[in-house]
Amino acid sequence: MEFFLGHYAYWFIIVLLCIGLYTIMFKRNLVKKLIGLSIFQSSIILFWVSSASKWNATVPIYDSAYSIENTANYINPLPHTLMLTAIVVGVATLGVAFALFVLVYKRFKILNEDVIIQEMKSESE
Amino acid sequence: MIKNFPVIIPAIYLTAALLIPLLRSRHERYAHSIALSAVFAAALVSINNIYYVINNGTIHYHFGGWTPPIGIEYVLDPLSAFVVFVINSVVFFILIHAVKVNAIELHSKEIPYYSVVMLMMLGFNGMIMTGDFFNLFVFLEISSLSVYGLMAMGDRGSAFASFRYLLLGTIGASFFLLGLGFLYMVSGSLNMSDLKEIIPLLSNSPVLIIALTLMVTGVGIKMAVFPLHGWLPDAYTLASSSTSALIAAIGTKVSAYVMIRILFFVFGVEYVTEIFPVTLVLGWLGAAGIIYGSILAIAQKEMKSMLAYSSVAQIGYITLGISMANPLGFIGAVLHIINHAFMKGALFLVAANLRIRTGHSDISRLHKVCAKKMPVTMACFTVAAISMIGLPPVAGFFSKWYLVLGAVDNRQWIFMGVILLSSLLNAVYFFRIIENVYIKSSDSDEEMKSCTLAEDEPGFSMIGPLVLFAMTLLLLGLFNVYIVNNIILLMMPPGL
């Protein structure tokens, strides 16, 4: 029980990750797949962020109230800053995906994977 | 000045990517000339880099003067310098070829096309040179996003194929990021050479195993290692001719290079072969990929999709070479990365020439007249095909030779058998085309027409690069000993 409660943040992230992967694999609508991808990416961002969070610690700016020797007083800012970049990358991916939706819709008039694959098959024959 | 060498190449590409849309003019050719000169400049710089690195040792470039592990660094060692040179020169050849194909296939979309190609090259060069894992992830995403854009500019359902690649590619990059998160949690560093020092101290940590598995899976999706190759065939087949040549020639190779970096230069040979034998899994996946790709390539009726499945098989060779984790296998894998870049470039250019001149690239509809009308294209095809099959003295023979030697060295007789068997399968699907082109006479008038309609050879811009590719393949084969002794032996990772 301790194992589950002590790591509740990570269990939550694992659940999110599985929801994301499930949506990508089993939903037939392309937009839903993209939503799944977004959830999946967010779970990884949360993983990085939670790995660097700490109770009873402050931002990594020198404060005379805390001793500088004891690094436990400060939060490691690197994972958080890296995730800012990862969020931007995720947004860019979403943007490209939306542009692709427009192209796919113009071509097939539908965003359902099964129908599109059917149509592509019948075209190539 | 010398310290700045590594960063010049990405700077050239970034400038070109911004200049192309800014200098918009009525003649769309200008975009092509800027792109071509940027690649040419980058190729020149990379030749200089190889020369410098071989004589004076590794160059480290520290961004903003921050020393690693705190700062980000670019590392040019013999391996990265050589791979940078290979991808830039291959792309230079393909872009010379691209001007005419794009004018026909991507009419009025050329300005964004070349701009995105420059961004893609920025990403690939960055991935190869960076010495920092998070930086690698960012460059991976830059190159992947550009590739999604390029692929969507094809015909028929290419946007859909591109979207599927986007889904899988993003999952791959996310897995890489997740693995990197675990690695950072236990080691507290993102710098590759720093991690190399730290990892032996942690060798019993189960977190490292998770990190390595996730990172290898992520890169494996990008590299299209056998069960993760699902995105590749459609994407290569449906993309426009010059895009598929670009991506097939360099896209998966860069990921293969990243795989070598992670396995041998960061985790170390001992870790990946003994403590957590990921190479064992990679070896069987590679062998399965070789057989699967070759058999499906035989089943294809269209030349581009045949080449796509053959790519799956060739990636299998590279994976197999990496998995052997001995010097001969490593030489084979690196040589095959280089050779395959040139071979696949040449073959996809042939497919492009056929499409432009005859309007199709169906294997069954090719016949004698094509060879008569396009002798140079078909001669280059034959050279590249012989290289793919692995007959001496063309380049492809030597990489396979080293792979077989590596398998013998490890006493992996099954892998040796797989390599030999697949050469036979390669021969089946390439000789089918060669036979059609040189021997089969066309039986119906309509087919005659389809070939006679077209003029003879396509223009010089489409023949020149193809001849250059074929010559390079011969040269790579003839000077193979020199390349192995003077360049590839220097790349050998420590402990191999």
User: What is the count of structural domains for chain B?
Assistant: 1
Instruction: For residues B260-271, give the mean pLDDT.
Output: 89
The partner residue sitting opposite A24, judged by closest CB among B134, B171, B184, is B171
Confidence band of B171 (pLDDT split at 50, 70, 90): very high
Which residue of chain B comes nearest to A53, CA vs CA? B185
Report yes or no for ipTM above 0.95: no
Instruction: For residues B130-140, give the mean pLDDT.
Output: 92
Handedness of CA B408, B412, B414, B418 (dihedral sign): negative
Q: What is the pLDDT of residue B480?
A: 85
Q: Is residue A103 within 8 angstroms of chain B, CB to CB?
A: yes
Mutate to test the interface with B, among A80, A87, A89, A119 (most CBs of B within 10 A): A89
Residue B458 covered by a domain: yes
Domain-by-domain residue ranges, chain A? 2-124
Q: Which residues contact A100 (CB under 8 A, 6 or more apart)?
A: B148, B152, B159, B162, B163, B166
Indicate the burial class of B120 (C-beta count within 10 angstroms; 0-12, 13-18, 19 or more).
buried
How close A88 comes to chain B (CA, Å)? 10
Q: How far apart are CA B419 and CA B413, in angstroms?
A: 10
pLDDT in tens, chain A (125 residues): 677 777 788 889 999 999 999 999 998 899 999 999 999 999 999 999 988 887 777 777 777 777 777 777 788 888 888 999 999 999 999 999 999 999 889 888 888 888 888 888 887 76
**Tokens 């390599």 label which residue?**
B419
Listed range (A64-78, B287-301, B477-491) with the worst mean pLDDT: A64-78
Report yes or no: B310 and B348 within 8 Å, Cβ to Cβ: no
Q: What percent of chain B has pLDDT over 90?
A: 33
How close B13 comes to chain A (CA, Å)? 20
pLDDT at B383 over 60: yes
Name the token pair of B343: 């071979």
DSSP state of B2: G
Residue B455 covered by a domain: yes
Residue B177 covered by a domain: no
Under an 8 A CB cutoff, do B152 and A100 touch?
Answer: yes
The torsion angle over the Cα atoms of residues B298, B439, B445 and B371, rounded to 10 degrees, is 90
Name the token pair of A17: 């990750």
Q: What is the pLDDT of residue B496?
A: 74
Residue B342 covered by a domain: yes
The partner residue sitting opposite A123, judged by closest CB among B148, B156, B166, is B156
Contacts with B239 from chain A: Cβ below 8 Å: none
Contacts with A108 from chain B: Cβ below 8 Å: 157, 160
Q: Is residue A110 within 8 angstroms of chain B, CB to CB?
A: no
Q: What is the pLDDT of residue A10?
A: 87
Q: What is the end-to-end Cα distance of chain A in Å, rounded?
A: 58
The partner residue sitting opposite A104, judged by closest CB among B141, B149, B160, is B160
What's the angle, vertex CA B481, arms to CA B478 and CA B483, rounded to 5?
Answer: 90
Report yes or no: B404 and B417 within 8 Å, Cβ to Cβ: no
Under an 8 A CB cutoff, do A99 and B178 touch?
Answer: no
Element (H, E) at B74: strand B73-76
Residue B87 covered by a domain: no
pLDDT at B448 over 80: no
Q: Which residues contact B337 (CB under 8 A, 6 or more apart)?
A: B83, B86, B253, B256, B257, B318
Confidence band of B442 (pLDDT split at 50, 70, 90): low
Q: How far apart are CA B30 and CA B261, in angstroms?
A: 38
Q: What is the pLDDT of residue A40?
A: 93
From the list B309, B340, B316, B355, the residue with the least C-alpha distance to B469 is B340
Mutate to test the interface with B, among A26, A104, A123 (most CBs of B within 10 A): A104
Q: How far apart are CA B357 and CA A92, in angstroms?
A: 38
pLDDT at B450 over 60: no
Instruction: For residues B26-38, give the mean pLDDT.
Output: 84
Instruction: For residues B17-30, give the mean pLDDT.
Output: 82
Residue B186 covered by a domain: no
Q: Residue B440: which domain range?
A: 280-496
Q: What percent of chain B has pLDDT over 70?
A: 95
Q: What is the pLDDT of residue A90?
A: 92
If one counts every other C-beta atom within 10 angstroms of the C-beta of residue B86, the result is: 25
Residues B151-161 have pLDDT tens digits of 888 777 788 88
Residue B225 covered by a domain: no
From the list A100, A110, A94, the residue with the least C-alpha distance to B159 is A100
Phi, psi of A112 (to 5 degrees): -95, 125
Residues B54-80 have pLDDT tens digits of 888 888 888 888 888 888 889 988 899
Instruction: For residues B79-108, give the mean pLDDT.
Output: 87
If one counts every other C-beta atom within 10 angstroms of the C-beta of residue A98, the result is: 11
**Tokens 């236990």 label which residue?**
B186
How close B51 comes to chain A (CA, Å)? 35
Q: What is the pLDDT of residue B454?
A: 52
Name the token pair of B293: 């790709």
Confidence band of B484 (pLDDT split at 50, 70, 90): confident
Note the Cα B46 to chain centre separation in Å.
Answer: 17
Residue B442 covered by a domain: yes
Q: What is the pLDDT of residue A114?
A: 86
Q: What is the pLDDT of residue B215?
A: 93
If one counts every other C-beta atom within 10 angstroms of the C-beta of residue B13, the result is: 26
What CATH number should be reported for the domain whose range is A2-124? 1.10.287.3510
**Tokens 């490292």 label which residue?**
B208
